[in-house]
Amino acid sequence: MAILVDEEKRIFTLHTEHTTYQMKADRYGVLLHLYYGARVPGSMEYLAVQRDRGFSGNIYDAGEDRTYSLDTLPQEYPGSGTGDFRSSALVVRNADGSECCDLRYAGYEIAKGKYGLQGLPAVYASGKEAETLKITLEDRVTKVRVQLLYGVLAAEDMITRSAVITNGGSGQVVVEKAGSACLDLVSGDYDFITFHGRHMMERNFQRTEILHANQVIGSRRGASSSQYNPAVIVAEKNAGEDFGNCYGMVFVYSGNFMCEAEKDQVGNTRVLMGLQNELFHYPLEAGESLTVPETILTFSSRGFGELSRRYHRCIREHIFRGKYKTCSKPILLNSWEAFYMEFTGDKICQLAEEAAELGIDMVVLDDGWFGNRFDDNRALGDWTVNEEKLGCTLGELIQRINGLGVKFGIWIEPEMVNEDSGLYRAHPDWALQIPGRKPVRSRNQLVLDFSRKEVRDHIFDQICAVLDQGNVEYVKWDMNRSLVDLYSAETPAGKIAYDYVLGVYEFAERLLQRYPDILLEGCSGGGGRFDAGMLYYSTQIWCSDNTDPVDRLRIQYGTSFFYPISSMGSHVSAVPNHQTGRVTSLKTRGVAAMSGTFGYELNPAVLSGEEKELVREQIREYRKYEHLIRRGDYYRLTDPFADAYAAWEFVSEDGSEALANVVLQETHANKAVYYLKLKGLKPDALYREEESGRTYYGGALMEAGIPLPDMGEYQACQLHFRLCPV
Ligand code: GLA
């Protein structure tokens, strides 16, 4: 049993293989958080110390006991207006205008398997793999109820949390803030590790001390964003890649979010993950509910590496769905950096001919194939094939491509509309904009009101009419701007940000139901909506519009802290690189792209015969290593933000095979020899390095390392090790 309940003491204990999570409904019915950390037996009640803190308030039930204050006690889901002056998990404006929500224990349930969430992505698991605990809290005056949901995946060392807020009273209430998970840690000094960025430079690692200040990251952009990723690590001061205690919090959501970290007046640390409270005022009529997206929590006593490998496994096994959860993926050639919008059907067929010759499986027709889309100022919303531009129907084009033995994929951006489009002219109110104001344009486009079903239905039908024209085996779903003018003809303004995301999920789910074998790749100006929510629908997401392999080392490093390598859309592109102007070898571009989905984004016609041979070789290599990249354990060997060498490694689950990847980011004359230390090998087993044929003990490779060859700037190498037969 992963969930233990001491009925008498009202203590709830969640055990995973290596961790324990414990809480208690105390004598006043307040749900206290007692402990989360390495697995321990017994009651941890003694940790919730009560002291008289002078001017901290005391709940009325405590009578004259001045030591009982919610201002300092660790709580599981702190409401507001209760005398806890730290950040709240839940803020509700009641029917009478007051903002108090005093949540007290009202019961629990245990169920086999993992709970699901209505309309939202969530970790899924069978009755053998998971158990669910539901704890109900209630404000006894307003009858606002919160059902806290806990999913325990014992073997994965994962605990998921979510909350369903219900208006059990008779008047309307407005949810002003809704957290998904609160982590109150009573002792210790922690760092807050977050991943910030911008378009083309996503998910940079940042580590700051959690101080006596509320440190907040989040998004108000409508999507999870390039600027802050909805996933954080809370680490003890001495925790690093391979050692030390750390907690992970991954929000399974693709819209506005907020994560706060604060050390309170007496040294407790509170970390809250949940929905962004700006642009959010969610009305609930009597009987209505709001489901807060879930957070996947883990605790690792062996540093960030172990934490990442757990998230990778959890997402691969319990978030990914459909054929490509396990199936090998096609290597694709995308037309974007090859032609941008300057193409004809013949040019796309030439790409397919080149692809066939090189051993590439699929050609993807990116932006520019529909309506009047000759540049990025027009035609979004008009999802009809421009047959004049293609010189044929889409069906004919796909047949020609398939005839070459090459699969076909296509780009769409269903959530968007240009003012210069038939759709906008017919339905201007379908775009988010505030009456009487001019909307904010971005890439000269507006956002469709995906909170409205009729808008989604219309776009869905148009997209299906395109996909039904031929054998489409891949769809790249793009989203190239943020949401600004939150006003809808139908949806109350305070609901739009959330309902929009539900609309996106509903659309994605419908697409998957109708085309279960299509490989879906998410995208948002590159990696602007790279989150565990989207990974529930698309097993891969374009990691960044920056295809420079050297910049990609950092982008992919940051992404690797939570998301599986197989989910990172990554392509070999042309040189000089279109984003940075940098020139790197095909080898280096291949090594970087192999730490992802692996594909191409260039016109092979401009490659020399020698380069084409290298591409063929690269594809053979990728296929050879694919099982390691997709299913192997991933180890970060260096920090590309700090070290000259970027190095990472894949190890097969049984430890019999490993692939180390290295790129030199910065060179100097007369360099010292660099000894690369491997990880995850069997110390007493002998491994053979394939290229040199030399053998080494796993222990030697891990403890002393292996000298790297003398490499020049931006050069790359791969070292492939196999266990020697005994
Ligand atoms: C975004 C995507 C690119 C490409 C263009 C097309 O920027 O990230 O990969 O699809 O849109 O307009």
Please state, in angstroms and rounded to a whole number, the distance separating the CA atoms of residues 275 and 163: 11
Q: Where are the alpha helices (DSSP H) in 80-134?
A: none
For 374-388, give one letter per residue: b (16+ CB within 10 A) or e: eebebbbbbbebbee
pLDDT tens digits along 670-681: 999 999 999 999
| Strand partners of residue 720 | 659
The CATH 3.20.20.70 portion of the chain extends over 323-413+451-477+512-628
| CATH domain 3-41+65-313 topology | Beta-galactosidase; Chain A, domain 5 (2.70.98)
Check pocket membership of 545 for ligand 1, CB cut-off 6 A.
yes
- For CATH 2.60.40.1180, the residue range(s) in the chain are 645-723
Contact 131, 139 (CB under 8 A): no
Helix segments in 31-76, DSSP class H: none
CB burial string 92-109: b at 16+ within 10 A, e below? bbbeeeeebbbbbbbebe
- Ligand 1 proximity of 601 Cβ (cutoff 6 Å): no
Q: What is the mean pLDDT of the chain?
A: 98
Query: The tokens 């806290």 sit on which residue?
Result: 148
What is the per-residue pLDDT for 1? 78
Q: 82 pLDDT exceeds 90?
A: yes
Closest to 311 (Cα-Cα) out of 478, 452, 123: 123
Give start-end residues of each CATH 2.70.98.60 domain in the chain.
3-41+65-313
Name which of 670, 292, 663 is nearest 498 in CA terms.
Answer: 292
Nearest CA to ligand 1 atom 1: 525
CA of 367 to the centre of ligand 1 (A): 7
Are 349 and 394 spatial neighbours (Cβ–Cβ below 8 Å)? no
For the Cβ of 558 lying below 6 angstroms from any atom of ligand 1, the answer is no
Is the pLDDT score of 517 beyond 90? yes
Atom of ligand 1 nearest to the CA of 340: 6
Answer whether 121's CB lies under 8 Å from 180's CB: no
CATH number of 323-413+451-477+512-628: 3.20.20.70
- The values of phi and psi at residue 346, to 5°, are -65, -40
Distance CA 690, CA 673 (A): 21
Report the distance separating Cα 287 and Cα 638, nearest Å: 53
Distance, in Å, from the CA atom of 150 to the CA atom of 13, rounded to the nearest integer, reads 11
Ligand 1 atom closest to 376 (CA): 12
Task: Give the per-residue pLDDT at 108.
Answer: 98
User: Catalytic pick from 241, 260, 337, 531?
Assistant: 531
pLDDT at 688: 98
Q: How many angstroms does the Cα of residue 556 sit away from the middle of ligand 1? A: 18
Kindly give the residue spans of alpha helices, DSSP state H, lying in 319-437: 336-339, 345-358, 387-390, 394-403, 422-426
Spacing, Cα 438 to ligand 1 middle (Å): 26
Distance separating alpha carbons of residues 1 and 637, to the nearest angstrom: 37
Q: Whose CA is nearest to atom 12 of ligand 1?
A: 367
Q: Which helix (H) or strand (E) holds 696?
A: strand 695-697
What are the start-end ranges of the E strands in 266-415? 269-275, 282-284, 289-300, 332-334, 362-365, 407-412
Rounded to an integer, what is the distance from CA 651 to the centroid of its chain? 23
How many CB atoms are closer than 10 A to CB 513? 8
**pLDDT on residue 239:** 98
Look at residue 726 and tell me whether its pLDDT is greater than 90: no
In the annotation, is 611 catalytic? yes
131 pocket-lining for ligand 1 (C-beta < 6 Å):
no
Q: How many CB atoms lie within 10 A of CB 54?
A: 7
The H or E element that residue 465 is part of is helix 453-467
334 CA to centre of ligand 1 in angstroms: 11
Q: Among the atoms of ligand 1, which is closest to the Cα of residue 523?
A: 8
**Band of pLDDT at residue 348, cut at 50, 70 and 90:** very high
How many Å lie between the centroid of ligand 1 and the Cα of residue 526?
7
| Cα 178 to middle of ligand 1, angstroms | 33
Sheet holding 472-477, edge to edge: 568-569, 540-542, 519-522, 472-477, 407-412, 362-365, 332-334, 599-601, 571-573
Spacing, Cα 336 to ligand 1 middle (Å): 7
Q: Among 478, 538, 571, 601, name the best residue to mutate to test ligand 1's pocket (greatest count of ligand atoms within 8 A of Cβ).
A: 478
State if residue 367 touches ligand 1 by the CB under 6 angstroms criterion.
yes
* 256 contacts 282 by C-beta, under 8 angstroms: no
Dist. CA 479 → ligand 1 center (Å): 9
pLDDT of residue 630: 96
Instruction: State the average pLDDT over residues 117-142.
Output: 98
**CA 300 → CA 3, 20, 240, 684, distances in Å?**
19, 11, 11, 25
Q: What fold, for 645-723?
A: Immunoglobulin-like (2.60.40)
The yes-or-no verdict on residue 77 having pLDDT over 90 is yes
Determine contact, residues 59/140, Cβ cutoff 8 Å. no
Residues 8-26, mean pLDDT to the nearest whole number = 98
Q: Can you tell me the mean pLDDT for 548-568?
A: 98
Choose, from 611, 643, 691, 710, the residue flagged as catalytic.
611
The pLDDT of residue 527 is: 98
Q: How far apart are CA 582 and CA 596, in angstroms?
A: 20
SS3 label, residue 368: coil
Q: State the pTM of this model.
A: 0.98
The tens digit of pLDDT for each residue in 575-616 reads: 999 999 999 999 999 999 999 999 999 999 999 999 999 999
The reply to whether ligand 1 has any atom less than 6 angstroms from the CB of 477 is no
Is the pLDDT assigned to residue 135 strictly greater than 90?
A: yes
Instruction: Identify which of 477, 482, 545 to mutate to test ligand 1's pocket (most ligand atoms within 8 A of the CB).
Output: 545
User: Three-state SS for 554?
Assistant: helix
* pLDDT higher than threshold 90 for residue 258: yes
Distances (CA, A) of 42 to 17, 75, 160, 297, 681: 15, 19, 22, 21, 35
Which alpha helices (DSSP H) does 515-596 contain, by range? 549-559, 586-593
Asked if residue 34 lies in contact with residue 22, where contact means CB atoms within 8 angstroms, the answer is yes
Q: Is 121 in the pocket of ligand 1 (CB under 6 A)?
A: no
pLDDT at 12 over 90: yes
Ligand 1: atom nearest CA of 366 is 10
Is residue 337 in contact with ligand 1, taking CB distance under 6 Å? no
Cβ count near 202 (within 10 Å): 28
pLDDT, one tens digit per residue, over 416-458 is: 999 999 999 999 999 999 999 999 999 999 999 999 999 999 9
Question: What is the position in ligand 1's atom list of the atom closest to the CA of 524?
Answer: 8
At 270-297, the pLDDT tens digits run 999 999 999 999 999 999 999 999 999 9
The rounded percent of the chain whose pLDDT value lies above 70 is 100
